[in-house]
Amino acid sequence: MSRTPYSLLMVGVLLALVATGCGTSGSSEQELANQAEWEWLQETQLELGAKRQELVDLQAAVALAATEEVAEEAEGEEAEGEVGEPAEDPAALLAELDEEVADLTEEYTGRLVGLLNSDPMIEGEAPTERQLALLAMKSDEDIVLAQEWIDKGGDYKRAIEIYKTALMFDPDNAKLQAALEDADANRYMSAERFSQVEKGMTETEVRLLIGQANLHNVRKYDDKGVIAWFYPTSETGEAAAVWFRPDKKTKVMTVYQVKLEAVKPGQSPDG
């Protein structure tokens, strides 16, 4: 998830959007600084978008390579690299790019909120095109942040909170509303989605198919050497579960049991 505390970012936006009467300083020096910052944000938005897509592509490639490696090991084959080509560690490249994207995201978001504060909307006055564009850019970042909570932590509740807060400041944003509706629709596991999971799948394959289980709903049973992922199926406490254990040949954690009605209302995942 983003390393910039979300609450601090929203405080900054709140200050920007509720400003009344004070207006901008009117100084040409401040406006020149704001214009320079606006141009940087526009350029960086494009750069960040490209890097994020590169990260998505690399994550998919790493996941595919891991799946192919497991299949080869299961068949008793060994992957052979091309002669003369230096070996590159995909995981290291992924970690490096992930860190780069995180750093740029933190700088971009901080400066975006900073400009919103420097050029705030004034109550009772029509916002400028730049102010509206800045607000839309901030909403786009809220969508990215919320999706990270879903993708990395399976935390739909936190994502929905982010969407609802963002909509308080940008209520007419169709992308925000669509993202909220999608999160609401997927926060509970459906029988149709869950039916895609099959025995023998790796954790990566399950994650790609039905999403990451909330980290609070992941249980490790060290005495048995197994891991269980629980997915809520309703607001009343029911949950589906996927159990993993090491494959006898590859030692990779793979699915050995799936159950849609694994947890009944009032029952804990361990019970």
Express each pLDDT in 97-151 by its tens digit.
999 999 999 999 999 999 999 988 888 899 999 999 999 999 999 999 999 999 9
Distance CA 56, CA 268 (A): 35
Q: Average the pLDDT over 144-165 and give the result.
A: 96
Q: pLDDT tier at 21 (50, 70, 90 boundaries)?
A: very low
Q: Residue 44's closest CA among 121, 111, 118, 131?
A: 111
pLDDT for 12 equals: 52
Average pLDDT of every residue of the chain: 86
Q: Residue 255's closest CA among 198, 175, 212, 178?
A: 198
Q: Average the pLDDT over 238-244 and give the result.
A: 97
Q: DSSP string of the chain?
A: --SS-HHHHHHHHHHHHT--S------HHHHHHHHHHHHHHHHHHHHHHHHHHHHHHHHHHHHHHHHHHHHHHHTT----PPTTPPP--HHHHHHHHHHHHHHHHHHHHHHHHHHHHHS---TTSPPPHHHHHHHHHHHHHHHHHHHHHHHHH--HHHHHHHHHHHHHH-TT-HHHHHHHHHHHHHSS--HHHHTT--TT-BHHHHHHHH-PPPGGGEEEETTTTEEEEEEE-STTS-EEEEEEEE-TTT--EEEEEEEEEEE-TT--TT-
pTM of the model: 0.80
